[in-house]
Amino acid sequence: MSDSRKRLVVYGAGGHAKVVADLAICLGYELIGFVDDRMPVGQIVLGAPVLGAGAWLEGKSGDVVVALGIGDNAARAANFETCRALGVVCPPLIHPRAVVAASASIGQGTTIMALAAVNPEARVGEGVIVNTGAIIEHECQVADFAHLSPNATLGGRARVGTFAHVGLCACVLPGIEVGERCKVGAGAVVNRNVGANLTVVGVPARPLSR
């Protein structure tokens, strides 16, 4: 990677963005600053400035790469599409203390935090958050812009749909599917397939009343 490609901007400047920025620094990137559509220009976050809104990235495709620092799945997807339209690369970022099998695949814009594990032949899409200590077992499939919270666990061959969110310490048993835009509550144990757009909680996980 050339020096210019080691210069990095984090899209977002909130709490999750700080974790992503720290990850990038651990990987040897030079943190130039943050872009955020709501924070004032010049505000300092982790010692680096907010540079402007997303429009700041126009014309920067050869100068910086971008890390996605937004926790909300839909907003993160929109940020990713902004970067793609501007020709700015969002590389996958894998913490040096994470374990990712050589046979696993990781999409662009995905962040894998410290102590996470992605095991053989797992498939992780674009813009996914694999948060601190999360486990993706063998042959799992995690679709684009999903979020696995800290210490969430997917058993072997489990599947998580686009924009789904698996909460803190929740687990999805082997071979089980969580549909797109589903939310799995903290500590839940998902032992049967969950259809799209549902929120499930408890042990075993059950849908909340609509």
Count the neighbouring beta carbons within 10 Å of the beta carbon of residue 69: 28
- Helix-strand-coil percent breakdown of the chain, rounded to 5? 15, 30, 55
The SS3 of residue 22 is helix
> Nearest-CA neighbor of 24 among 52, 45, 51?
45
* Helix ranges restricted to H, 40-197: 73-86
Residue written as tokens 């901007």?
A: 9
| From 95, 138, 147, 165, active-site residue | 138
Count the neighbouring beta carbons within 10 Å of the beta carbon of residue 150: 17
Active site residue 95: no
Residue written as tokens 């969950």?
A: 194
Check: CB of residue 136 under 8 Å from CB of residue 143: no
Instruction: Using DSSP bridges, classify how beta strands 7-11 and 30-35 pair: parallel, antiparallel or unpaired.
Output: parallel
β-bridge partners, 106: 124
Q: How far apart are CA 157 and CA 164, in angstroms?
A: 16
Check: CB of residue 151 under 8 Å from CB of residue 145: no
Active-site residue list: 138
